[in-house]
Structure 1
Amino acid sequence: MDFLANDSKNLINKGNLLVELGHLKEAAECYANALENDPDNPEALLNLGNLLIEFGRYSDAIECYNKILTADPKNSVTWQQKGFALLQLNKPEEAIACFDFSIQNDPKNSYTFFLLGSTVMKLGKYFEALQCFNKALEIQPDHPINLMEKGIVLTCLNEDQEALIYLDRSLAIYPDNAEALIAKGEALRHLGRYAESLAILNEAQNKEPPQIELWLSKGVTFDCLNQHEDALGCWEQILKINPDYLRALAFKARSLYRLNRNGEAIIWIEKYLDIVPDDAGEWNNKARLLIELNRYDEALSCINTALSIDDTLTIAWYRKGIVLDHLERYDEAILCFNKCLTDPESDYYFKALWKKGRDLDKLGMKAESIECLNEAELGYTGYPFFDIPENVSGCDSDQAFTDSDRDVFTSEFDIECQSNEIENEEWYYSEPEDESLPEIDPDIWCPEIGELCPLEDFPSRSCPFGRCIYRDDDDEFDENFPYLVGFWGSNQSDDNIYP
């Protein structure tokens, strides 16, 4: 079409037609020419600003929008677009202010609520984000993207069952949306439905070429299924896309650790620390791997680095105490365990108390040792992590350890173990004196996996003792069968690399 007139209106119309045809550069030239004739034309400024966003020229786009807002400060669409450009410049707080102005002038625009909700969600303000998506859905109840975003924010709020409702509604309208499928896979994984999660993620993979978010979700799900080799494959796919993707570097180290490939795991943690040298948690995790390899001096150096970054990191003080124990520097180890005893609610309080008691014994301070160990024992038996659900054991947590049970494993017995009078101690369980009772391999209630498991499969090595539950041939439970399990000081770890 041949346009002969050079007036602004014709140039804008020509630009609009070129945009529809996909000729964006030529369209931008038309809008720029229109502005030469009419520098304050709001339509030309808005359209040119929108194209500049497409070209990645966000600051230039904002200049166009500012000219419009100077003349028309209530222009809601321009405030919305300016906010979007600010988001691309990583200025979320300024963007939020723009979205707020847009909503004040047009409270019925669901897209602005969507943009505001997405922005505050990225800032971790999940309740605010939920309110925004609720507003968007009041305006457009069946919009699949708003339904999906509400589902995503509900997973961030640990409302995964409710999240599935909105994600399913979104997928019913837009079944090929890979992002919604990934979000559904995440929610299912949070609910412990790992096989279903993996099936949904595989469906997402068939919808479009997999990107980082999909590989990330699949990798975590594989780890939850203890399929660590498969998880490694996912981390490697991410690192092909982005060799410096931090979560993939850290997760690859974790999977290698779970495969007992600790030397390789260290390499990947070091790659992570080359990029983020001030991450105290990863210095601490590197120390954990070095401990596994009996490289205690190097582990101590890593822990000291972690504590120089964050001296409130309880797990680092606890781990430093463990390293000093290995180096037989018991006085210093006790000082580290004391650092863990300032907060009785800490996950490491009773563990540290237990280890302090053992170190006091090694220093010949028997009375002080027994006092610590007895307090630790009492703390462990009442600690919620070790409670046995009533519907499984038939007894509540107060009954989980009887007086006769306590007599089996006293603190004095633990001191005997730690004095190496019993070599290669690992798992011990007591048997009743009545020899008529059958020899069994008892089952234990495991809070980590929420079910009974055989003694040799018990996954937690941090529990000093737990109640065994006898299961007979008819799969019936006998909570009164007096078996008690203890764990003291084997070569296995006392805590997880990623607590």
Structure 2
Amino acid sequence: MPFSSNEDRNFPISKFESMLKTNDVYFFDADDFEDIIHHYLDMGKVALAKKAIQIGLEQHTSSTTLKLLHIEVLIFENRFDVAEKMLDELALIETSNEEIYIQRANIYSKKDNHVMAIELLKEALVYTDDSADVYSLIGMEHLFLDQYAEAKDCFIKCLDEDPEDYPALYNIIYCFDFLEDHDGAISYLNTYLERNPYSEVGWHQAGKQYFHKKMLKEALAAFDFAIISDDTFIGAYLEKGKVLEKLGRYNEAIANYELTLGLDDPTSFAYLRIGKCHEKLGNDNIAKQYYYKTVHEDPLLDKGWIAITDFYLKQFNYQKAKYYINKALNIDSENIAYWKRCAEINKQLHLYEEADISYQKTIELGNYELQTWTSWCDILVKIGEFENAVHVMLQALEFYPKEACLEYRIAGLYFTLSDYRKGRSHLKNALTDNYDEQIILEELFPSVFDSKTVKNFITDFKKASI
């Protein structure tokens, strides 16, 4: 029975592995060794690749290709001195071999000398028959240097040679995005699509650019063309669903998301978006079921847990919300969004000590939003932790030095602690920053606000400022 093409391709590999097991010595031609080595390198089996290189060079001592593969492995292992010595020897024999320049560039790149790597790759362009690959390497070196305009030009040259080089297309759009040149990206994609009207990836990328610019009609048309070009393109259906959501066409969005569930394994993103659409349509029970499916499919997706928690928060079902946010925290205890919601839920349940801990954790994890500071302070006031509240507010003041809502709180706290000098100082700051926000003092510290001392101070301040 004749070998299939796949069996034919795998035969040298199975023969090589048989040789290693039996310690017999088989002869392979240099091309077979090249295939074997590439196979192991692609699989990350470097030790077997090195063994194949060793045996290959023993059988084909003058093979430049095998020597270059040996050099590639040496560079991978950061053995630059040995690799450079071998490259010097090869350069004396083959002055026009572009791979020598490419591997030298690889060494410089790994040493973070990307400028020199680019120069060597430009020399490789003189000798190569595959300039697209070399331009791609030059583009990556420019990315290392944050030279996005130059990188973009290189990837464009790759795509000019091979219109289906989609990694190059993605890199081009990445550069446009980083340069915040969305108009330029749209212009380029339109030119590209005139030449390649059935490129589903091109239409998909154009749709994303239109969506970013809130050009929803154009985005919808682009995603439709992507689907026409490839009716199994899951990404296009998902993006089209997002556009339809923005347009308030929730049933159509659901239909697109549901299509993706039949094309491949279900994704947590699709479940989440279907749930959001049903919630907006008032189908709460269906929405809830899809949120459950979301976290079941991907327990690490924080948006799923947040969706369930927020669903119950909107229904004022704080016990259920607390149950799910605690489940989320058991999975990821370092998630700021979880701790913020945990604090809010505990506050609503009048579990102020737990809310205090939640706000503290939120701050410790790096959330320095003004509302987080003030909410934490207000909880501390409720449990009578006035000195801790002062400490929290003084910390917040370092982030928001001219914020009246902080100064009013600090003033109220100092008056409560009978430190009238500091109280008056901070009340003066608060009145200066925003005279009309006195209601903060009145609501949080009514006895302080109604005291004769504070009333007179505010009156005197107003007279002095007239």
Distance 2:230 2:405 in 1: 51
Report the equivalent of 1:152.
173
1:299·1:323 contact (CA, 8 Å) conserved in 2?
Answer: yes
Task: State whether structure 2 residue 212 is matched by structure 1 residue 190.
Answer: yes
Q: Give the structure with the higher percent helix.
A: 2
Q: Secondary structure at the match of 1:144?
A: coil
Task: State whether structure 2 residue 296 is matched by structure 1 residue 269.
Answer: no
Letter in 1 for 2:341: R
Task: State whether structure 2 residue 4 is matched by structure 1 residue 25.
Answer: yes
Change (3 A) 1:126 1:308: farther
Change (3 A) 1:283 1:140: closer
Superposition pairs of residues 458-497 of structure 1, within 5 angstroms = none
Q: CA deviation at 1:218?
A: 0.9
Q: CA deviation at 1:185?
A: 0.6
1:76·1:102 contact (CA, 8 Å) conserved in 2?
Answer: no
Letter in 2 for 1:74: T
Report the equivalent of 1:410.
439
Distance 2:11 2:437 in 1: 88
Q: CA deviation at 1:262?
A: 4.4
Letter in 2 for 1:234: N
> Given the alignment, which residue of 347, 352, 356 partners 1:325?
347
> Given the alignment, which residue of 18, 25, 28 partners 1:40?
28
Distance 2:375 2:339 in 1: 12
Superposition pairs of residues 362-401 of structure 1, within 5 angstroms = 379=403
Report the equivalent of 1:207.
229
Report the equivalent of 2:372.
352
1:114·1:136 contact (CA, 8 Å) conserved in 2?
Answer: yes
Q: CA deviation at 1:174?
A: 1.2
Q: CA deviation at 1:59?
A: 9.5
Report the equivalent of 2:312.
290
Distance 2:358 2:6 in 1: 68
2:204·2:226 contact (CA, 8 Å) conserved in 1?
Answer: yes
Q: CA deviation at 1:179?
A: 0.9
Q: CA deviation at 1:316?
A: 1.6
Structure 2 segments unaligned to the other structure (5+ residues): 16-25, 74-100, 107-120, 407-430, 447-466
Q: How many residues in Structure 1 have an aligned counterpart in Structure 2?
A: 349
Q: CA deviation at 1:336?
A: 1.9
Superposition pairs of residues 32-181 of structure 1, within 5 angstroms = 39-43=27-31, 70=57, 71=60, 72=63, 74=65, 101=103, 108=128, 109-112=130-133, 134-138=153-157, 141=160, 143-145=162-164, 148-154=169-175, 157=178, 158-181=180-203
Q: CA deviation at 1:180?
A: 0.3
Superposition pairs of residues 214-253 of structure 1, within 5 angstroms = 214-253=236-275
Distance 2:350 2:360 in 1: 17
Change (3 A) 1:182 1:136: closer
1:117·1:132 contact (CA, 8 Å) conserved in 2?
Answer: yes
1:321·1:336 contact (CA, 8 Å) conserved in 2?
Answer: yes
Structure 1 segments unaligned to the other structure (5+ residues): 1-22, 83-98, 383-401, 418-499
Q: Give the structure with the higher percent strand.
A: 1
Change (3 A) 1:307 1:167: same
Distance 1:281 1:176 in 2: 34
2:313·2:321 contact (CA, 8 Å) conserved in 1?
Answer: yes
Q: Secondary structure at the match of 1:200?
A: helix
Q: Secondary structure at the match of 2:334?
A: coil
Distance 1:204 1:59 in 2: 35
Report the equivalent of 1:392.
none
Q: CA deviation at 1:252?
A: 2.7
Larger CA deviation: 352-361 vs 330-339: 352-361
Q: CA deviation at 1:413?
A: 6.3
1:186·1:197 contact (CA, 8 Å) conserved in 2?
Answer: yes
Give the alignment's TM-score, normalised by structure 1: 0.53
Q: CA deviation at 1:127?
A: 5.6
2:148·2:175 contact (CA, 8 Å) conserved in 1?
Answer: no
Change (3 A) 1:169 1:46: farther
Identity fraction in percent: 15
Letter in 2 for 1:352: T
